[in-house]
Each structure stands twice: as structure tokens, then as C-alpha cells.
Structure 1
Amino acid sequence: MLKEPFYGHYLSSFHKATQQHSDTNPPLLEIKPIGNSDIQISYCQQQWQTLSDDLALGALKHEALHLVLGHVFLRSAYSDSARFDLAADLVVNQYLSAEQLAPDAVSLAAVNHWLEALGRPSLEANRELDYYYQALPPSSQQPQCPGVGQSGQGHGSWNRLSTQSQAQQSLVRQQLESKLLQSAQRTEVSNAQSRGLLPAMVLAAVEEALSRRRPVVNWRRLLRLFAASAQRTFVKNTLRRPSKRYGTTPGTKIQPHQHILVAVDTSASVDDQQLQIFFEEMHHIWRAGAQLTVVECDTKINRQYAYQGKPPEAVVGRGGTDFNAAIDTANRLRVDATIYFTDGEAPAPEVRPRAPLLWLIHGLRSDDSAHSLSHCGRVIPMATDPHR
């Protein structure tokens, strides 16, 4: 809890038990299913009592990484179990310090030295399990590999997880995901300082779990509703229609009007595919009768024009991002609403919008960005799937 708080909180949520093995050399730690939807971590008490604090911490962290990265569900999917075990341990052992690794533990440096002696190319660091599995030789050639005897201890029980029914696996995965998110919340993994203490693979697993928990919204429908709500009406005299009340001319006619400023973030972080999707949806708003003024902006306004039904062949900009210039332009033009298409990766604007403002954000990287922008407008994330 003190040295590695994320892993401490994560592991504290699992059932623990001493092993009931008849083997003369049981594994130090073992992961196995318990009940219909949970995981138990069992340990060999006799071996555990001989470990130093650093080695005990390393052993726990090793198992936690296998769980976070989902290795426990994959073993039966690979035909060469011994090669899988070596690849899985190569992934997680790279995230342990030298003090946390047992002397005979498999390491990338030792495996690369062995591969070079065989005339095979070295393995890259910090890669995924499948990369190491494909790059390693078959298990028939592995007994000479340093650390291979230590690799895979306790992995045999994983087959009980990977051979469960789809319904049971789904329940276990949901439980593991809940434990992961709860640990991330308790240790404030979204905090920049906390993020720097965890490997990129763990952060990616947390972000993937978060994305699955976020409600998926139909951003296209919400965008159109926002545009429709910005419509104003005014009364216009007309000679074509007599007054219904008095029967005289000129009569009156209700005239709708919409003037929307569309700010398009053209900084380097916004890709052309998302720009195309956005302009397609903007075209529907224009066809519904809205007057659209487009400003292409990064740190400043690069181009301003009235949208006439045809998107530009290319946008101008590709610099940094600053929201103030576009909002200032919207205030000056006295538009009915502003739609800002951006990735949200910039400080919140200092200029306050006078009209309703909608942030349409693609590739939302953190909830902090959405929270800072929500103080001056509504935030809608664009789904990765363009059909959503």
C-alpha cells in the first residue's frame, strides 16, 4: 500500500488463501476462479515466509499485472503453452525493479543474450504478449533459455478461467474491470503524477475500461437538437398573405432565422477523417436552413467564410490550440450559437461566450478536459465509430 499503492489497492480486493497442494514443489502464487464471478489468489505459506520484502512485493505485482493485462484468459488460446508462459512473463517482468525479481526469473536481457547466441534477432522492450510469442522459438528449444524453468509457475490454473463458459468469463471480466477502476479511482490514476508511476500498458487498460463504462451518446442527434434550439423567429410583413385577423394587407409572416458560428480546430492533433465526418454533419444543419459562418482556427483565426454547401478541400492551420479567438469572433458577430469542433486539448477559454456554446470533442483523452470546458458550454464527445 505504501510503496505501490495502485497494486496494493488492486490486490486488496481479491480473496486470498493458503494453497492446498500435494505437490512437492507447489507454485509460490496461483490465480484461480472462485464461485461464479470472482478470483482467488492462493499462496504457498512455506515459500512465502522465506521471501524478502522486495521479492514479496515483486511476486504480488507480477500477478497483478497478469490480471490487469488479461493474460489469465488467454493461455488456452495458444497452442504452445510453454512459449505462452515465457512470453507472458517477459511482458510483466519488465515492469518490476531489479530488487523485485527473483535471481532465476526470466528477463528480457537474459533472453536476448540467449537469442543472440542462437543467431536470432533480439526482442524489443515493452511490447505486447503476442509479439513475444511470435518472436520466441518453439518450446522444444526453450529448456536452454535462462529463466525458463521459473517462467510459467502457477500459470496452469489459468486454464480453468479460459475454459469457462462465455457467461462466466463475462462475469469474471466485469468483476476484474470493477476492481481495476476502483483502484484507479482510489489512487487518482487520472492525476498526471500518479500516471507517471504506472506503465503505459496498465494506463491503456484503465482507459479502455473507462471508455466501456462511459455512456455512448448519439452525438449527431444531440448536435442537430442543439442547432435547432438556437433558432430565432421574427415577424415580417408580406403582401402575399392578408392579415387573418383584419383581412387587410399587408399581413404578417413568421420568419425563422439561425446564425451559427462553427469553429473548426485545425491544430495538428485533429485528423482529416474526423474533419470530414464533422463537415458532413455540418452540411445537414446548413440544409435545414441555418446560416453558418465557419472559422478555421488553431491559436488564431486562420480563415473565415460563409458555408455554402461545399466543404473546403483543405483546412488552414496545423499549429497549437487556443479557444479564445473563435469565441471572441462569435461574440463580435452576435451569432445565435457557437459549435466548436476540437480535440479539447487546450486550456479553458478566458473569453466568456454570449451565446450558447457546444463543444463537439473527438478523441477525448481525459475527463479533465471535458470538465474544464463544461463551465462555458455543453460538451459532447464524438464516438470513435462514425456511425454512432
Structure 2
Amino acid sequence: MSPGLAGIRAEIDAAARDLLIREPYYGHLLVGMIRLVTDGDAGIRLVPAGPAPGLAVSAAGWADLSPAARTACLRHELLHLTLKHPLRASAYGSLQLWGLACDLVVNQLCDTAALPGAVTVADVGLPPGRTADDYYAMLREPYTRACQGGDPDGSAGDGPADEVVAAVRAWLDGPAARCHEAWRDFAALPAATLATFTHGVETLLATTVRRATVRGWGPLPAELVEILELVIRPPQVPWRRVLRMFGATSERTRLRTTLSRPSARYGTSPGVRVRRSSRLVVAVDTSGSVAAADLTAFFSEIHAMWRRGVEVTVLEADVSVHREYRYRGRPPETVSGRGGTGFDPAIRRANELGHDGLVYLTDGFAPRPAVASRTPLLWVLTAGDSVQDLSHLPGRRVRLTGRNG
């Protein structure tokens, strides 16, 4: 390594030590990663490196940044890693649009004053607090226009919509978009390698959170703390056993080709591998009788299901279904409802969706449902009165212990 690159590596190490003191979570996460110094001006970016994602820093890009901008860029990329954004890139048709949507999420969790080319939800006229999937859907039309250079017919305008297009185009032409170009390498990874990377990131995050929280969370925003707490909060329900028991009739099996081993029957490649998965509807009781701590416990259990590879569709419901969305690893900032309790609307909607099973997270205080579930039904009850009569709830029942509260 040349002296110039060695000096940059020393500066990165110094930045990591500074973060360890000022913002321990980012410091421990950076120290635990593979860090590469490269030639060129590609900036600071996440790249596949060995058995897990690494952080690549280009020599010219680092030299052009002020100390504040360097820290801002490091923090920005570490947040992308925390939320596993590059590991999800293969599921999206436009990697550029996915990168933009992810930036809108990450930039709500950090100070963007010193971040080169930063884009915020205010710049594109979108509401805060949404997921990257929401922003991806909301920005399809402005992104298409920005890629075309203006309106679809080639004309230019000066309305609010055109200001959004201009903001998207500025992001596409700026340094932030270039830093996401390496996400194409993540999208091209084989499924087995991607699974290994994901496990490696989850292990790194768990280790980082345990080390960083010895003296508290520090200056991390509450939204990020809530996400990180899910990493270290053990589920109160043994989902491996419960889902195996509950999902005996609700688990789907599919065959996938694999190059990792030859066919057992013919000795040729590719062989096949059996993959089992479940699609579950999870109804969350958002009535007024459910405490905020219980809602936190509910989403901790949802996160545990999701980590086990379950495709989760969440229904937020009290006497009606207020919201329906796919859970992707991040709990909502708020829930809708807080009225009375009725089980029928959520069960009826679950029947319409036709997924493999229904899990109902509730305190159980409502009349017996009149609508019968057409799929296996599991009731997960809050850690309340252990002598509460639950005989009116048809199907299997488990109760949270409350030990993690």
C-alpha cells in the first residue's frame, strides 16, 4: 500500500475512534467491519467484502471531503447497513430508485447538514416516517420523468411536481447516487451468499448493540433506538417451535435449483433444494385497551417471525381494519385505531387474502368472533391476567410472558 493510502487508512481509524467516543453505536459498527481503501473517486460506499458487507473508501473521494463531511458519509453508510438496504436491492426493478428511497429513510435518522448531495423528504414533497418501500412506490413517476429529462412529452414546467422531478434529477447527478452503484454487486449475489451476508450483518448488529449500549444509547434518535432494540430483544414466544407446530398445515414447499450440490438422483448440476416458507397475516389489536408497552411487545414478536423468513402482512385493527402493509423489518412509528375491539373485521380480511395462516396479537378483551377463520389461527395474548377466561377464542392460544418488557 502506498504512503498516501496508508495515511488515509490512518485517518479512517482516527474517525472510528472519534465515533467510539462521541457516537458509540456507529464507532463499534465501523470497527467491526472490513474497511478497504481504494484508488479512484467513488466516494464512501458499502461493497461485498469477504463473508460480509464491507466499507470501501476511495482515496480521491476521501481527500476531497471535509472532516465533518467524512463523518456524515460514514454515519450515512452505516445506517444503510443497519437497515440492510443493499442486501434487499435484488428485489427491486430499479436500483437507482431503491437507493433514492433508502436515502430518504436514512436521512431522517441523521444530521444531513454536512452530507454531500443529501436529499430529504421535504425536497421531494413526501411525508416523513414512511418505509423505503413506500417511498419507492411514491417516487416511481417523478423518477421516470427525471430519467427522461423532464415531462414525458419533453416539455418543462415550474409547478410543485416539477420541483420534485428537479430534486430527483439533482440526486441522480450527485455523489449520493454514485455511492449506491456498488449495490448492483449485492443484487447479483447468489441467494446462498446473500443469506450468509444477511446472517453476518445480523450478528454484527447484535454484537455492536450490546457493546454500544453499555453506557446508554447516546445521541441516537428514538426511531433508530426502537429498531435496534428489536435486534437484541429476544422473542417471548418460541417461534421456531410454535411455527413448526402451528404451521404444520400452513407451510408451503417449493423447489429451487442450486449449483452448490449436484442432483442426488442423477449426479448432474444443477441440483434442487427444498425451500419451506410461510405467508402469514398478523392482526395487531390497536384498540384503546392495549397499552403502548404491549404494542412494542407485539412488534417485537412480528420482527422475530420476519427474521425466521416468514412473509408477514400486518393488519392494524380495532373494530375495523385501519391499515394493511407488508412487514419489512421496521416497526411503524404510530399505529391506527385505539377504539373498541372486534375480531371479525381482521379475520374477514385475512380470509380474503388467503395466506397460509393468521396470528392475532391481542389482549383478548372482545366478544367471541362470529367470522370463522379459513386458515389456521393462533392467538398471542398480552402478559395480563393469567386467570382470564380465553375459552371464547377459537384455535391455539399462547400468552406473552412480559419478561422482556
- TM-score, normalised by the number of residues in structure 1: 0.51
Distance of aligned partners of 1:210 and 1:275 in 2 relative to their CA distance in 1, 3 Å threshold: closer
Q: In the alignment, what sits opposite 2:133?
A: 130
Q: Deviations over 1:138-184 (max 9, x none)?
A: 53322622433223222121122222222211111111111101111
Matches within 5 A, 1:122-271: 123-136=126-139, 137-142=141-146, 144-145=166-167, 146-150=170-174, 151-188=176-213, 194=217, 197-201=220-224, 203-208=226-231, 210-211=233-234, 216=239, 268-269=290-291
| Deviation of the 1:53 alpha carbon | 2.5
Cα shift at 1:97: 1.4
User: Corresponding residue for 1:328?
Assistant: none
SS in 1 for 2:22: coil
Alpha-carbon distance between aligned partners in 2 of 1:27 and 1:84, rounded to the nearest angstrom: 19
Contact 1:7 1:64 in 2 (8 A): yes
Q: Which residue of the partner structure matches residue 45 of structure 2?
A: 30
User: Quick check: 1:62–1:96 contact (8 Å CA) kept in 2?
Assistant: yes
Instruction: Give the deviation of 1:50 after TM superposition.
Output: 3.2
Once the two structures are TM-superposed, the CA of residue 34 in structure 1 deviates from its matched residue by 2.0
**Letter in structure 2 aligned against 1:197:** L
What is aligned with 1:48? 62
| Equivalent residues of 1:31, 1:39 under 8 A apart | yes
Question: Contact between 2:112 and 2:118, CA under 8 Å: does it hold in 1?
Answer: no
Select 2:400's aligned residue among 361, 369, 372: 361
Q: Distance in 1 between matches of 2:65 and 2:43?
A: 10
CA contact (8 A) 1:181 1:206 kept: no
Query: How far apart are 1:195 and its partner, in Å?
Result: 7.6
One-letter amino acid matched to 2:120: S
Computing the radius of gyration from Cα coordinates, the structure with the larger value is 1
Rounded Cα–Cα distance in structure 2 between residues aligned with 1:5 and 1:147: 30
**Cα distance per residue 1:227-275 (max 9 Å; x no partner):** xxxxxxxxxxxxxxxxxxxxxxxxxxxxxxxxxxxxxxx9643688545
Structure 1 residue 16: deviation in Å? 1.0
Matches within 5 A, 1:328-367: 361=400, 364=402, 367=404
Evaluate the alpha carbon distance shift between residue 111 and residue 218 of structure 1 in structure 2; reply closer, same or farther with a 3 A threshold.
closer
For 2:84 and 2:236, the matched residues in 1 are separated by 18
Cα RMSD (Å): 4.1
Q: Deviations over 1:178-235 (max 9, x none)?
A: 110111101228x8x528723425632540564479965868xxxxxxxxxxxxxxxx
1:9 equivalent to 2:28? Answer yes
Deviation at 1:30, TM superposition (A): 2.2
1:131 aligned partner, one-letter code: D
Q: Distance in 1 between matches of 2:52 and 2:364?
A: 45
Return the alpha-carbon distance in structure 2 between the equivalents of residues 139 and 275 of structure 1. Answer: 44
Describe the shift of the 1:361–1:297 C-alpha distance in structure 2 as closer, same or farther (beyond 3 A): closer
Between the aligned partners of 1:17 and 1:61, the Cα distance in structure 2 is: 16
Paired with 1:201 and 1:162, the residues of 2 have a C-alpha distance of 25
Q: Is the Cα–Cα contact under 8 Å of residues 209 and 232 in structure 2 kept in the other structure?
A: no
User: What is the CA–CA distance in structure 2 between the aligned matches of 1:109 and 1:275, rounded to whole Å?
Assistant: 39
Question: Aligned in 2, Cα 1:215/1:54: closer, same or farther, shift over 3 Å?
Answer: farther
SS of match in other structure, 1:33: strand
> CA 1:16 to 1:218, structure 2 compared with 1: closer, same or farther past 3 Å?
closer
1:72-87 equivalent positions in 2, closer than 5 A: 72-87=86-101
CA contact (8 A) 1:82 1:139 kept: no
SS in 2 for 1:197: coil
Letter in 2 for 1:43: V
- Please say if residues 35 and 56 of structure 2, whose CA atoms lie closer than 8 Å, have aligned partners that are also in contact: yes
Distance 2:236 2:56 in 1: 30
Shift of 1:29: 1.1
- Equivalent residue number for residue 378 of structure 2: none
Contact 1:33 1:160 in 2 (8 A): yes
TM-score normalized with structure 2 length? 0.49
**Aligned-partner SS, 2:400:** strand
Query: Is this contact kept in 2: 1:10–1:183, CA < 8 A?
Result: yes
> What CA distance in whole angstroms lies between the structure 1 residues aligned with 2:39 and 2:236?
37
Measured at CA, do residues 134 and 66 of structure 1 come closer, stay the same or move farther in structure 2, by a change above 3 Å?
Answer: same
Cα distance, 1:15–1:217 mapped onto 2, change above 3 Å: closer
**Aligned counterpart, 2:331:** none
Judge conservation of contact 2:37–2:56 (CA < 8 Å) in 1.
yes
Structure 1, unaligned runs of 5 or more: 113-122, 220-265, 281-295, 299-303, 313-340, 343-359, 370-388
> Quick one: which amino acid aligns to residue 185 of structure 2?
R
Give distance in 2, aligned partners of 1:66 and 1:134: 19
SS at match of 1:67: helix
Q: Of the candidates 105, 116, 127, which is equivalent to residue 91 of structure 1?
A: 105
Residue aligned with 2:127, SS: coil
Query: What secondary structure sits across from 1:99 in the alignment?
Result: coil
